[in-house]
A and B are shown apart, each in its own frame.
Chain A
Amino acid sequence: MNDEVPVTVTVNGRTRQSRVEPRRLLVDFLRHDLGLTGTHIGCEQGVCGACTVLLDGRTARSCLHFAVAVDGSEIRTVEDLASLDELHPIQEMFHRKHALQCGFCTPGFLLTTVELLERTAEPDEAAIREALMNNVCRCTGYANIVDAVAEAAVELRRRNPA
């Protein structure tokens, strides 16, 4: 029953292969097998949002997926956002607006914001709060996070006019 099975996924544009136990959670696969520790793990029951990644382009709680069950999928993690010399505009605005304190929740907030701004280029504050409602920041720095997302939306529209 503990036999390892092969898994092949594309993570941040790179094909990655490994052998894992079926019970290996996607978040642990990313962190322990692939060494991508940017994705954090909090509650392990889908509530806190710290482990949020993009799975085939949509936000997913990586603690609620088995690596074997997403074999063949495309995954995007926080490591994919910045280039070597430049932060992603969403990260840049989190930095400027002091939208992180301890930073534990930040990867989940960033990827949730990526999905929000892909779906809605011009979200109002209510839409931002609605989208972030299921990510928990235990430092409770929500006001600055909402500001950062609003500024990131402006910056992304400036860079990619419709």
Chain B
Amino acid sequence: MKPAPFSFVAPESLDEVVRALAEHGDDARILAGGQSLVPLMNLRLARPEVLVSINRCHELDYIRLAGDRLVVGALVRQIDAETSPLVQAECPLLATALPHVGLPATRNRGTVCGSLAHCDPLAELPAVALALDAELVLTSAAGERRVPADDFFITEMTTCIEPGEVVAAVALARQDPSERSALHEVSNGGHAFPVGGVALRWASADGVCTMARIAAFGVGSVAQRLVDAEEALVGSDLGPAAVAAAVAAARAEVNPTGDIHADADYRRHLVGVLLERGLLEGESP
């Protein structure tokens, strides 16, 4: 099918973007890479009246350090984040995750922030944002607010973005060089959407786990922090008993549903398997 008619504006600055959003309110959608939105429009599952393209806003195409955070602007394409030495050094979890996102031809155009704003429950990046204590920078005509990832993702395809707001950037925690992190997922072949996955990072000192962030995707209506599993790890020696406790906690705190790809019990089991695999095989940054 072809998309329903819409009007198109392509401002050249963030100021003009938020002005356009203020003018069109609920009728407007942001077009960044469009690799999730355009298929939905072709299928007429999405019918925005106005598309506000940010593809001319070159001021949003940056990756830079700001204090203890790595900030990724709204126009950064996934392929450019994946190959960025800054991302590889400061947020190896993001660099590890990106090759799993979509397919090469969509990563060439799709953006990091766009995937977060789209909030697909099967997407890797919302879980990565949770694991990296991300803050979403939301800009509107009224100014800027920063929302922690824990409050940003609400449910399937739904975030706390208000009409008139655009995700201008995401600020991710810089990973300490002593940290380890991993992303594991299972999909039914190739680059198909995952059935489920886990993103995690953790740190330890003197044999004791001092920090753990674990987030799952594909096993609920939205990416989810697994706080009980994190608690089971922090303060532990990360030995077999601690890993088993974390795995059990993870399985207890997810609430997956079944579909044609996998049933709920399989997904619940999978979360534990992938968490254990991550903890055993996690890469040092």
Asked if B105 and A112 sit within 8 Å, CB to CB, the answer is yes
In the assembled complex, the CB of A89 is this many whole angstroms from the nearest CB of chain B, namely 22
Residues of B near A133 (CB, < 8 A) are: 103, 190-191
Closest B-chain residue to A26, C-beta based?
B38
Q: Which of B8, B104, B105 contacts A22 (CB 8 A)?
A: B8
**Distance A69 CA – B53 CA, assembled complex (angstroms):** 7
Closest B-chain residue to A59, C-beta based?
B105
For A24-64 the 0/1 string (1 means CB < 8 A from B) is 01001000000000000000111001001001001111011
Asked if B106 and A61 sit within 8 Å, CB to CB, the answer is yes
- Residue among A23, A28, A59, A115 facing the most chain B CB atoms (10 A cut-off): A23
The answer to whether residues A69 and B34 also contact, given A64-B106, A133-B191, A134-B191 and a CB cut-off of 8 A, is: yes
Tell me how many residues of B have a C-beta within 8 Å of chain A: 30
Asked if B39 and A23 sit within 8 Å, CB to CB, the answer is no
**Chain A interface mostly:** mixed
Closest A-chain residue to B99, C-beta based?
A130
Asked if A60 and B7 sit within 8 Å, CB to CB, the answer is no
B5 at the interface (CB under 8 A from A): yes
Asked if B104 and A66 sit within 8 Å, CB to CB, the answer is no
Residues of B near A71 (CB, < 8 A) are: 10
A1 at the interface (CB under 8 A from B): yes
The answer to whether residues A25 and B2 also contact, given A64-B106, A133-B191 and a CB cut-off of 8 A, is: yes
**Distance A73 CA – B34 CA, assembled complex (angstroms):** 16
B113 at the interface (CB under 8 A from A): no
Asked if B39 and A22 sit within 8 Å, CB to CB, the answer is no
**Distance A135 CA – B190 CA, assembled complex (angstroms):** 11
The answer to whether residues A60 and B190 also contact, given A23-B2, A45-B43, A69-B55 and a CB cut-off of 8 A, is: no
In the assembled complex, the CB of B214 is this many whole angstroms from the nearest CB of chain A, namely 28
**Distance A65 CA – B51 CA, assembled complex (angstroms):** 13
Q: Which of A3, A28, A59 contacts B104 (CB 8 A)?
A: A59
**Distance A23 CA – B37 CA, assembled complex (angstroms):** 13
The answer to whether residues A22 and B34 also contact, given A68-B10, A134-B191 and a CB cut-off of 8 A, is: no
A131 at the interface (CB under 8 A from B): yes
Asked if A68 and B5 sit within 8 Å, CB to CB, the answer is no
In the assembled complex, the CB of A14 is this many whole angstroms from the nearest CB of chain B, namely 22
Residues of B near A21 (CB, < 8 A) are: 5
Closest A-chain residue to B108, C-beta based?
A58
Q: Which of A1, A5, A55, A63 contacts B108 (CB 8 A)?
A: A55
Closest 4 CB pairs of A and B: A22-B8, A58-B108, A134-B103, A45-B39
Extra inter-chain contacts (11) besides given A65-B34, A66-B34, CB under 8 Å: A22-B6, A23-B6, A44-B2, A45-B43, A46-B38, A46-B106, A58-B79, A58-B108, A59-B104, A133-B103, A134-B105
20 examples of A-B residue contacts, CB within 8 angstroms: A23-B3, A23-B4, A23-B5, A23-B6, A23-B41, A46-B39, A55-B109, A59-B104, A63-B42, A64-B38, A64-B106, A65-B34, A66-B51, A68-B10, A69-B8, A69-B34, A69-B51, A131-B104, A134-B190, A134-B191
